Structures are given as C-alpha cells and as structure tokens.
Amino acid sequence: MKVWPGKPYPLGATWDGSGVNFALFSENATGVELCFFDDEGNETRIPVTQQTDQVWHIYMPEARPGQLYGYRVHGPYLPEEGHRFNPFKLLRDPYAKAIGGALKWDDSFFSYTIGHPDADLSMDERDSAPFSAKCIVIDSAFSWGDDPRPNIPWDKTIIYEAHVKGLTKLFPLLPEKLRGTYAGLASPAVIKYLGSLGVTAIELMPVHEFVHDRHLVEGGLSNYWGYNSINFFAPHSGYGSYRDVVAEFKTMVKTLHREGMEVILDVVYNHTAEGNHLGPTISFRGIDNAVYYRLVPDDRRYYFDYTGTGNTLNMTHPRTLQLIMDSLRYWVNEVHVDGFRFDLAATLARELHEVDKLGAFFDIIHQDPVLSQVKLIAEPWDLGEGGYQVGNFPVLWTEWNGEYRDSIRRFWRGDEGQIGSLAYRITGSSDLYESTGRRPYASINFVTAHDGFRLRDLVSYNEKHNKANGEENADGSDNNISWNCGVEGPTDDRAVLALRARQQRNFLATLLLSQGVPMIFHGDETSQTRYGNNNSYCQDNEISWVDWDLDHSQENLLEFTRFVIRMRKEHPVFRRQSFFRGRAMRHSNLQDVTWFRPDGEHMAEEDWNNPFSRSLGMLMAGDAIGEVDERGNPIVDDTFLVLINAHWEPVRFVMPPFRFLREGELFEGDWELVLDTRADTGRRPMRSLHPGKAYRLESRSLSVFRFRGGEAPASGPTGDGRRDRPVGEQKAAPGGKPREKTR
C-alpha cells in the first residue's frame, strides 16, 4: 500500500476525496502502528513513522470511506509510573467518527493477566483484535440543505428527556426494523406525538458510542442507559437501523429541526468505559494512560475516582481538554445539535482536587464562538468531596436543579415546613441563581429523570425494588422522597389509585407552571411504571421501555399534560425572563407576585415559618411582568391565581380582591377556574368566584384561576391608567417569600 507522511491535523481519520489522513496524539508512546482490517477480519499493520508535536500521522492515498481500522501503540508498560502501553491490544481512535459493531468480551482486552498474583502489574500478550469493534473511516458529506436551527429561547423551552430505544422500542406505528433506532425517533409517527405533546427540545440520553460492562453482559443484562462512553465523536452503533449510522443520526437531527424541535445530547466526558486499574484496555489507557486519566500523584498505578466508575478524565491536560472541545464542536458544526447536558459536570471543573467554577473547561467554552452559543446544561454534582455545586455554575450555564426536585417532592408528600422552599422553587430559585447574575431559566426544573423513580412510581412506592438488577436490592438511592399513598406497589383500591393519579397531576402542574425550564422524563406523561426500580440502568427490556398500550387513566394524564403545556406556552406569566420582585413594577402600581393565606390575607413572616402550613395562594399579575419581547414591545398577560394545598384535608380559600380600570372607571371582576388537578384532564365545568367568596380547595390538589373583568363598578378611581391592580401591598424577597407584611 502507498504510504505518505500525512499531517498532524486534524486528529482522527479524515477523508479528503483522494485519500485518508490519520493522526493520533500520544505524548509518551515510542511507536505507533495503524492497523487496517478487511471484512473477514484480516489485519494489515502499517508503521506510523512521522511525528509532529507528539502527534503521530500518516496519509494513505488508497484508503477509502468504509475502511475498518485501529491502532497498536508501543511504549513502556509500567503501571506504577502511570504507563500501560501494550501493543498486543488493538485500540480505538479517540477521534473515530463511527464504530463498526460491538466488542465481544474476552480476557484479551485486559493488559494484564487476569488471576496473576501481581494483578495489573503483570502483562498479557494475547491479541484483542479478533474481539474488538473496529473504527470506520467515514465520508462526512451530508445534504443538510436548508437546516435552520430552531434557536428556541430558554424561557420558551420545554425539555423532554428521552432514551432512543426506550421511547421507540414498543411504538405501535413503527415497523420492527425502525424500533429502537435514530430513524425510528425521526419517523412521522413519533414526531407527530412529540409535536402534539408540545415539547420544544428532546434531550437524548447518551448516544456517544458506549460499552456494555462485562459483568452486566455475563449476567444477562446491559448498560442500557449508556453512561459508559468510549468514543466521543461516534454515535452509538446499536441505535442504527442501517450501515451508515452517522448519516442516520444527521437525518434524525434534520427531521427534528424541520418540526421546530431542538436536539440536546447528554454527554459523558467525566470518565470512560475503561474503569479502574483492573479495567480493560480499549482506547485511552493504551494510547497514553498518564495523559488522559487523573492518576493519584503518590501512586500513579491508581486513578482518582470522582465519578463512581473507577476513573476520571484528566481535565488538567491541554490535550484532554482539546479532545472534549473538538468533540463538542464536531457535534455542533457537523451534526447540528443544539446543546449539551453534561453528566457529573462538577468533575469537569476540578482543576486540582477542589471544584473550581472558573476552571479552564468553563473558560474555554465561554470564549468559544460556537459552544458559547448553544444550550449548556450542567448536572451540577459528582461523587467527590465538595461535588454538590447546585447554583454555583457560571453565567451561560443552566443546571439540573436538584433542590427543586427535592423541595417539590417533600411538599406534595406533605412534609412539614416546606412552604418557604416551595415559594423559592416555583418562582425560579432566585436564592440559588440571582446572586451570580443568572435568570430564572438557569434552573432546569424536574421532578423525575432517568435516574430514580418514575413519576408513577414516586406516588406508588416508599421503597426501591431493584432485585432485577442482580445486586440484592443494594444499588440505587434509598432517599427517594416518595410516598405510596397508603399501599406499597400495585393495588385495586380505587381511593388509592385516585389519589395517586391526582398526585401525578399535582407534580406535573407544579412543574409546568413554575418559573424556569421544565423537563419531563419520557413516559411520565402517560403514567409509566418501572415497578419500583429506581436504578434501571441495566434493564434493556419492558421495565424501561415505554408501553404505548394506554388505558383510560393513562390517556387522561396525557391529555392533562398537553393541556398544561399549552397553558404555559400561551401565557408568558408562567415563564418569565426575570425574577419576581414582589413589589410594584416601574410605571405600574401592580405587584408582579403576591402571596396569600387561605383566609385571603397576605402571607406574613410567621406564616412562612409555620411548620404546619401546607397551603398558599400565589397571584401573578399579567400587567406587571415588566419585560419586553424580541421587538421591544411590553409583554402583557392575564392575571392568574394559583392555589396549592398539600394537606390531607380540604381548605376553604377566600378569593383575594383584584380591580381593573375600564374607560376611567374602576371595576371589580371574578376569578375563573381554568385548571383543577381533581379533574382527570385538569378541566372542570366553568366556574367563576367573586373576590371575598370562599373556594373549597380539596386535599392534595392544585387549582388555577384567571382574573376576568365583571360588570359591577367599584368605588374609587385608580389614577394609574393600568388595566389591573391588586388591592394591598407587600414587600417580598425577590421571587420568594415575603420579608414582612405591610398594609
């Protein structure tokens, strides 16, 4: 075969229309071999002799897209010094854009001899190539045509967290070959469903090429969730329906964009599938272990583990940072994705041992003209000391708000002393984000996600039931903040089932009407169950797949979710761009938010501090939003009153007074019921209440009223020229509970 020197950039395998340039970084290697494979698995090894700035490079003029390849890297095998080179192991290119098939587990993947008395200090000389998945040279050309990005503003974003296979595997309108695939996700039937639901962005659980852990495979399970990445540029081949999985993935993105939906990827850059010092050698470990991984300084045989997986990528090395940034830019520039959710993002911020929110990782992203313009979502914690960093990420970043999840769960469970926390969470968590100059949409609000109980299980189980995972129910969190409504698991008790259904509606209504960005986990809108399993990472079966054979109650919950999403989208008062002030806005006598007790009086400090208080009213004035749209026009909306009762007994709620100005004359109006979680679909017969009248707010329920003008004039002019103005005034902490009550 013809061999040319090639170039050190770009890294990876690059087809230029005439041949393929191969470039591999390794700082400590002493030699590199490029390995070609034919369809029968026959191997041809080509020495890579050119090296520039620690990049080994070669150009193969006769190579073409579709070529299978890998590397063998030579160097010292000295684990105690951090080096684990072993040329007997075929290695994947970290920059490979596609992977052919899945690896077949064999002892040869380990650089040491399993069972040897010296453990990983020994060296194994078996060839792993026959069992390895091979890298594939691709032609990156794709007909994007007119593919405008939706560029949906954060305040208008509704996220749908989904698993490619879990969402589509049982979808009834899909042919079998498309189920569980990228093509299936982009099918007209699935697109129609997502569109009818009203979500604006689909957040895909990991789609980077990942590995199914050996112990899971041998136990008849798999790494279903996919948080075990090994190739950060390649879409997972297991979700492909035909050979060109890259083109299939791009087609999926293009199709979703055409329907106005953004694509956000859940990315796992904090660790790899190679595990701890006893793990396999698949890629990074054999290319340059001391560069790519965080090693313990005093004993470089071992790895820092802030992730619970055995290793942590070395974010302090510029080449590791380059790998991640190159990967992110590739997915934006070449695959047109719209943003990223970073798994265990606190790990990426660790410069030394401490979490540094202004670390190099954030600095690089903030100055990058591409990455600084996409949606950036942090899972703001890891498993290391000081790893819980909710509220501490910098501007440009949003965060999975774990405080929101826990507060809303505790409140609806009926825990004591939750009113104050609830007020902060449903108003955008100003206590967490305002001091750092961020907006309400910095908070990604969620009640459930892939990790933990599903929504239905949250109201059906007090304890986890993970025996199917094969770990004797020892895995998964014991802190679920759940309540089974009186019976553990399945039941035929109609009262319990009715309460569980209402609690699910309470959670969804609270989530979708809170300030911030709501995120729904796929299937929760149809009351799916995982039978109490709160850690279904290894369950690639009916436990995890969405069952689309819906009964009547599930259809009702779906309709309820659609209804509340429409309400959120139609009314900007539920999705403000700035925090509430709790006082009159400029050019208006209106307060943007006012809090009420059930007796119709303003909440006072003692009410917020009452541990037995489980009910409150929240009035949001549509004429006091105080914001402008993209063309500079004032944003004005209806005025809404949200009544919430987590008590096990009903509450008589006195409707608060409200006035409006019409043609210079002051009028009072009525409160019109628009949403009630007692109803299966959220809708009840139209009902209006005059201020001062009492409304029976049922136990464990949420009701929303809209203010409507009446006919009877009230005494006294307003003189402010505004449409609406609430009676009374109170001072409140920004977006949260009032500091004091004034009259």
Residues 6+ apart with CB under 8 A from 400: 341, 377, 378, 379, 380, 444, 446, 449, 519
219 backbone dihedrals φ, ψ, rounded to 5°: -95, 10
- For the question of residue 740 being annotated catalytic, the response is no
- The catalytic position among 343, 399, 524, 668 is 343
Give the DSSP per-residue string, 276-335: STTS--SSHHHHHHHHHB-B-TT-TTSB--SSSSS--B-TTSHHHHHHHHHHHHHHHHTT
How many CB atoms neighbour CB 479 within 10 A? 9
Distance, CA of 476 to CA of 466 (rounded, Å): 8
Distance, CA of 300 to CA of 290 (rounded, Å): 8
- The 3-class secondary structure across 592-618, one letter per residue, is CEEEECCCCCECCHHHHCCCCCCEEEE
Are 627 and 587 in contact by the 8 Å Cβ rule? The answer is no
Distance, CA of 107 to CA of 120 (rounded, Å): 13
- Whose CA is closest to 36, among 5, 72, 6, 7? 72
Distance, CA of 105 to CA of 133 (rounded, Å): 10
- Whose CA is closest to 538, among 95, 219, 79, 162? 219
State the alpha helices, DSSP H only, in 485-584: 494-512, 552-570
**What residues are paired with 153 via a beta bridge?**
none
333 CB-side CA count, 13 A: 13
State the alpha helices, DSSP H only, in 521-604: 552-570
Residues 6+ apart with CB under 8 A from 297: none
3-class DSSP assignment, residue 371: helix
299 backbone dihedrals φ, ψ, rounded to 5°: -155, 90
Distance, CA of 274 to CA of 288 (rounded, Å): 13
3-class DSSP assignment, residue 517: strand
Are 617 and 595 in contact by the 8 Å Cβ rule? The answer is yes
3-class DSSP assignment, residue 206: coil
- The catalytic position among 203, 266, 288, 379 is 379
- For the question of residue 363 being annotated catalytic, the response is no
3-class DSSP assignment, residue 473: coil
Q: Tell me, what DSSP letter sits at residue 417?
A: T
How many CB atoms neighbour CB 648 within 10 A? 10
Are 232 and 327 in contact by the 8 Å Cβ rule? The answer is yes
- Whose CA is closest to 29, among 84, 79, 103, 81? 84
Angle subtended by helix axes 402-413 and 419-426, to nearest 10: 130
Distances in Å between the Cα of 302 and the Cα atoms of 70, 272, 288, 305, 484 are: 26, 15, 15, 9, 43
Pairing of strands 68-74, 397-400: unpaired
Distance, CA of 582 to CA of 584 (rounded, Å): 7
Distance, CA of 315 to CA of 324 (rounded, Å): 9
Pairing of strands 20-25, 55-60: antiparallel
Residues forming the active site: 343, 379
